[in-house]
Amino acid sequence: MQPQLQPSSSPAVNGADWRVWWQLTRPHTLTAAFAPVLLGTALAIEYSGGIHWGMFLAMLIASLLIQAATNMFNEYYDFKRGLDNENSVGIGGAIVRHGIKPKTVLNLAFGLYGISVLLGIYICMSTSWWVAAVGVVSLAAGYLYTGGPLPIAYTPFGELVAGFFMGVLIILISFYIQTGTVTPTSVLVSFPSFLLVGAILLANNIRDLDGDKEFGRKTLAILLGRKGAIRLLAGMFIVSYAWVIGLIIAGVVSPWLAIVALSIPKAVKATKGFIGKSNPLQMMPAMAATAKTNTIFGLLLSVGIFISLI
């Protein structure tokens, strides 16, 4: 579900080149699947004192595959709806630049879903089959984000859905499969990830505002206007950091989690990078900084938890 960064400026390659297939996964988005799994697992270690490596690896790989598949659904359906062409910013480009058949991209996405389902079965056999219900809903959300008759990405709810599934839910499932429960602390710590994953989608929609409006999308950025969307983006960053400070003051988490402050410069760069700009290419550095803020923030939270255990 994550927004995409600027396509590579490397020389064109044909469909037989492995780089085409690698770029199709939009690898720069995959850290957004890794960070919440690590954070949920770190919280679980803090809670129970141990880790089941098989569960961790299965959850990590499944999350990465679902993220990659979602990116491929995005590639396929945006092409089918005429939104993508060879000059489009922020796409993998396998279809419009390298001649990969659209059906091949779609089948590959479903194939990755299939592998993630097998990993999910392994997780359920070791924990609870209720996890399967959550998994099915997550797979449906990944597909319906750009697929189906009314794609979520074309509505004002894209940030909300992405933040919940790619932020909160991954953290809580990663915690649950290690501990067999969900605690108030795990829910509270997951909230900033909800905001920051949503911020990535918002940044993407700020970048694509003019084009999305032309194609009839009704994204949150379009409804708020460019200036309003940038203010909301800044507010999401501020609340995320303030939330962690509040948890520390309340004694819910260790003061070591204040290490997330090291990611503040990225958040500032992201916000400033959108101000006064309307050209998508000019906004790419801000877009990248927003995605990196989410990743670094999540990784630093995990580091803070690990340090507090020493």
**Is residue 7 in a domain?**
no
**pLDDT digits over 68-97, tens only?**
999 899 889 988 887 766 666 666 677 887
6 conformational bin, left if phi > 0, alpha if psi -120 to 50, beta if neither: beta
Which has the minimum average pLDDT: 146-150, 173-177, 192-196, 205-209?
146-150
- Domain count across the chain: 1
The pLDDT of residue 60 is 96
**Is residue 199 in a domain?**
yes
**Is residue 112 in a domain?**
yes
**pLDDT digits over 9-59, tens only?**
344 445 557 788 888 888 878 888 899 999 999 999 999 999 999 999 999
Q: Whole domain around residue 44: which residue ranges?
A: 18-309
Other beta carbons within 10 Å of 190:
26
**Is residue 2 in a domain?**
no
**Is residue 10 in a domain?**
no
Other beta carbons within 10 Å of 49:
8
For residue 131, the domain's CATH number is: 1.10.600
**Is residue 71 in a domain?**
yes
**pLDDT digits over 117-133, tens only?**
999 999 999 999 999 99
CA–CA separation, 26 vs 48, rounded Å?
A: 35
Strand stretches in the chain, DSSP E: none
The pLDDT of residue 14 is 54
Q: Which string of b and e fits 74-86 if b means at least 16 CB within 10 Å?
A: bbbbbbeeebbee
CA–CA separation, 14 vs 98, rounded Å?
A: 5
**Is residue 98 in a domain?**
yes
**202 contacts 220 by C-beta, under 8 angstroms:** yes
CA–CA separation, 105 vs 131, rounded Å?
A: 28
Considering the entire predicted model, what is its pTM? Answer: 0.89
Is residue 13 classed exposed, middle or buried when 0-12, 13-18 and 19+ CB atoms within 10 A define those classes? Answer: middle
**Is residue 93 in a domain?**
yes
The pLDDT of residue 27 is 83
CA–CA separation, 162 vs 200, rounded Å?
A: 9
